[in-house]
Amino acid sequence: MELGKGNMKRIKGLILFAGIVVLVLLKFDMLVSALKLFLQMLSPFIMGGAMAFILNLPMRFYEKKLFRKQYADQRKQNKYEKKKRPVCLTLALLSVILVIAVVTGTVIPQLISTGKVLAQEIPVFWDNLMTSAERFFTDNAELEKQLKSLEIPDINWDSMLQAIGNFLKNGMGSLASTTFSVAGSIVSGAVNFFIALIFSLYILGQKEKLGDQAERILRAYTKPKVYRSVRKIAVLLNQNFSNFITGQCLEAVILGTMFAVTMTVFRFPFALMIGVLIAFTALIPIVGAFLGCAVGAFLILVDNPMKAVAFVVLFLILQQIEGNLIYPHVVGNSVGLPSIWVLVAVTIGGSLMGIVGMLIFIPLLSTGYALLREDVNKRNQMEPEGTEEGVKIKEGVKIKEGKKKGLPH
């Protein structure tokens, strides 16, 4: 068998691919460690890109609403355009800071005051519990006799105290190392956040220029077909992520308003604060509202235990309405994804990457779903060859052509 240039190229490609696969399998642990280190180095820039994408949504809104004038004089128009970006970027930053300040200013003080009340109530609760236990054993003398008759092994208090002392000695060293580790993590996180914020502001300030540069590089080093495909996917991803974030925020506001109104109607305590808290935690798909429910139930429990139980029941009812009716339609419609696939995306993303996976898998699956739907529709619209339907279509075309030409059929 003669080996042409095409076959030789394919064989070389297969050999290279097999060599890469073997190398990956042999050095898998090393590659994973190198990948983790690489991602750790890029984490501030990845965070900055995510921050820039989120801040771009309110900034774009302000640009459309506040800067719509058009001047005939080009100089005036240029000055007008130069003011637009810094003003809208500042407004977007202030909007995000305001939302965070409202949530923290509403929730944190109430949590602190509730913690103080709980600290005062715990000793009283413990005394009442001990009194109830003494009364119970007094009323049930037989049970007390049976407990005393049980053979309980003697406790070596000296060895126990020595073990506790050794634990405390070792624990102090580990506590010091843990404290330094936590302090280092906090400082590192603060530095990474600062770098990410600067990087996001740079991206937003130069986003048109950076987008044009990326497009020119892609066009220069790829074939036209690849360039069109990559650009199409990038536009679709941008659209789906933007629509998802908008839909998620809208759904969170709806859910928080539902809780605030219903809790006010049924005279629950902390109605506004819990509504704001649930609206904020509901930004995490599906499970976020449960975090708000846990904190809300804890706050109400200190004030009135029976109302805390009623609040949990109310939460389950509203959560069913939100999870089955509001969320799939609001978020699903915003990204063009059917309700069942929203649930699938949240489940798979949460199991693979936790909260981050829940946030990114819905727009990713929506993009894949849109591309698949477009390809399926395109293939179905093509003329089916070799099928009975295709033969009928072709015969019908030939018959019509024969009639036009006057040919027998």
Amino acid at 202: Y
Would you say 357 and 223 are in contact if contact means Cβ atoms under 8 Å apart? no
pLDDT at 401 (0 to 100): 45
Task: Kindly calculate the radius of gyration of the chain based on its CA atoms and give it in whole angstroms.
Answer: 32
Chain segment 348-377, per-residue pLDDT in tens: 887 887 777 877 888 888 888 888 888 888
pLDDT at 150 (0 to 100): 57
Amino acid at 217: I
Instruction: From first to last of the 409 residues of the chain, give the pLDDT tens digit.
Output: 455 666 777 777 788 878 888 877 787 788 778 878 887 888 888 888 888 988 998 998 888 888 777 776 777 777 777 788 888 899 999 998 998 888 888 778 877 777 777 677 667 767 776 777 777 767 766 665 665 565 555 555 566 666 766 665 565 556 566 777 777 778 888 888 899 999 999 998 888 888 899 889 989 988 888 889 889 898 888 888 888 888 888 888 888 899 989 999 998 888 888 888 888 888 877 677 888 888 888 888 877 888 888 999 999 898 888 777 777 677 666 677 776 777 788 788 878 877 778 778 888 888 888 888 888 888 888 755 545 554 444 444 444 444 444 444 4
Mention every residue, 6+ apart, whose C-beta is less than 8 A from residue 337: 331, 345, 362, 365, 366, 369
pLDDT at 262 (0 to 100): 92
pTM across the whole model: 0.68
Q: Which of 373, 319, 322, 337 is nearest to 244 (CA)?
A: 337
pLDDT at 402 (0 to 100): 46
Task: Write out the DSSP string of 155-208.
Answer: P-HHHHHHHHHHHHHHHHHHHHHHHHHHHHHHHHHHHHHHHHHHHHHHHHHTHH
Cα distance between residue 134 and residue 143, in whole Å? 12
Q: What are phi and psi of 68, to 5 degrees?
A: -110, 0
Cα distance between residue 103 and residue 178, in whole Å? 30
pLDDT at 208 (0 to 100): 85
pLDDT at 119 (0 to 100): 73
pLDDT at 399 (0 to 100): 44
